[in-house]
Amino acid sequence: MATITKRLLLSDLVSTDKIDQVPSNYIRPITQRPNLQSVVRDSIPLIDLHNLFGPNRGQVIDQIGRACRDYGFFQVKNHSVPELTISNMMQTARDFFNLPEQERLKNYSDDPQKTTRLSTSFNIRTEKVANWRDYLRLHCYPIENFVHEWPTNPTSFRAHVAEYCTSVRGLAVQLIEAISESLGLEKEYIGRQLGKHAQHMALNYYPPCPQPDLTYGLPGHTDLNLITILLQDQVPGLQVLRNGHWVAVDPVPNTFIINIGDQIQVMSNDKYKSVLHRAVVNCDKERISIPTFYCPSPEAVIGPAPELVTDDEPAVYRQFTYGEYYEKFWNRGLATESCLDMFMAT
Ligand code: OGA
Ligand code: NI
């Protein structure tokens, strides 16, 4: 008698069972499908960080400010993260997702509160329709609190990921200072509000999909954290909403894609927007993306910066702890695109 094993991970369903149709639990209702033909080929600003620490810092800050206000997204080149650190990170992610199923499953958990875990879709405990993605999520700052939980296979995993997240944290801090300045705040303002600071990352694995028109890698959402620094491989898939149209952001080697998350939208009192974005999948190529989510620590109190609240522009949001926001975000299972409307000022 044939036994049917329910597979925990999508990658194993796709590679082992050789499916040629998207299973019904991944299919979106007709009105919510990605409509891949109508995507616009536009671009988001590409900012050269070479001058961030030179006499022309002001110009770079202006470019960052404009990009945050008008796009909520930008790319950076000539940043401080070495090419080798990036290529080692990407190779480590590829090697991890190529491990045998049993080896990967040692890290499996569907509990969003776990600080190191491999899972699938987004939050399988709360969502109605599944997403075409597996992911390994890691907390990575302060690194010594978490590194002992990380996978040890591939054997270089901890060393390469530690090097990558330490280096990307340096870039995150530079960008947060620049964003603070671009809002007319003290350079240290945002950093100070973050408590002890926190940093999470995801290794996203999107397998090839037989019917990419019916499903998403990730449906439209905003990121809950402060800023996201995304590394993607050479396979397109990220789309950003701009003026009501989905714009495909094609990969450029050795650049990062930066986006504003909900916490910057709150602190900036809506001057900067946390923009909707999504990941679509394709028929023939697997895709890996590695977002770093830079965040406040859970006890940090977040609210609009007092200097940006005036009689004409009253506080749009109330104060809350990041821990409270984080819990609401995971519990809604991406059923709503953003959580910000749960934190409005009354
Ligand atoms: C995310 C995300 C986009 C991508 O993980 O929050 O938006 O291209 N990822 O994988
Ligand atoms: Ni995102």
C-beta separation of 264 from 67 below 8 A: no
Question: Which pairs from 10-14 meet CB under 8 Å and 24+ separation?
Answer: 10/120, 10/121, 10/130, 10/132, 10/133, 10/134, 10/207, 11/97, 11/134, 11/205, 11/207, 12/101, 14/207, 14/208, 14/209
Q: Indicate the pTM of the whole model.
A: 0.96
CA of 220 to the centre of ligand 1 (A): 10
Q: What pLDDT, on a 0 to 100 scale, did the predictor assign at position 333?
A: 65
State which ligand 1 atom lies nearest to the alpha carbon of 293.
6
Q: What pLDDT, on a 0 to 100 scale, did the predictor assign at position 19?
A: 85
Mutate-to-test residue for ligand 1 from 228, 239, 252, highest number of ligand atoms within 8 A of CB: 228
pLDDT in tens, the chain (346 residues): 445 567 899 999 998 877 889 999 999 999 999 999 888 877 899 999 999 999 999 999 999 999 999 999 999 999 999 999 999 999 999 999 999 999 999 999 999 889 999 999 998 888 899 999 999 999 999 999 999 999 999 999 999 999 999 999 999 999 999 999 999 999 999 999 999 999 999 999 999 999 999 999 999 999 999 999 999 999 999 999 999 999 999 999 999 999 999 999 999 999 999 999 999 999 999 999 999 999 999 999 999 999 999 999 999 999 999 999 998 888 876 667 788 999 999 8
Is the CB of 177 within 6 Å of ligand 1? no
Is the CB of 134 within 6 Å of ligand 1? no
In the block, tokens 């999107």 appear at 206
CA of 254 to the centre of ligand 1 (A): 17
Tell me the DSSP string of 47-68.
EEGGGGGSTTHHHHHHHHHHHH
Structural domains of the chain sorted by starting position, each given as residue range(s) with its CATH number in brackets: 25-343 (2.60.120.330)
Q: What pLDDT, on a 0 to 100 scale, did the predictor assign at position 338?
A: 81
- Residues 251 and 231: their CA atoms lie apart, in Å, by 9
Give me the sign of the Cα torsion angle 61, 63, 69, 74. negative
CA of 280 to the centre of ligand 2 (A): 12
CA of 262 to the centre of ligand 1 (A): 15
Atom 1, ligand 1: which residue's CA is nearest?
291
Is the CB of 262 within 6 Å of ligand 1? no
- Residues 77 and 55: their CA atoms lie apart, in Å, by 18
Relative to the alpha carbon of 204, which ligand is closest? Answer: 1
Q: What pLDDT, on a 0 to 100 scale, did the predictor assign at position 346?
A: 82
Identify which of 273, 225, 268 has the alpha carbon closest to the alpha carbon of residue 72. Answer: 273
C-beta separation of 289 from 231 below 8 A: yes
- 3-state DSSP helix/strand/coil percent for the chain, to nearest 5? 35, 20, 45
Atom 6, ligand 1: which residue's CA is nearest?
223
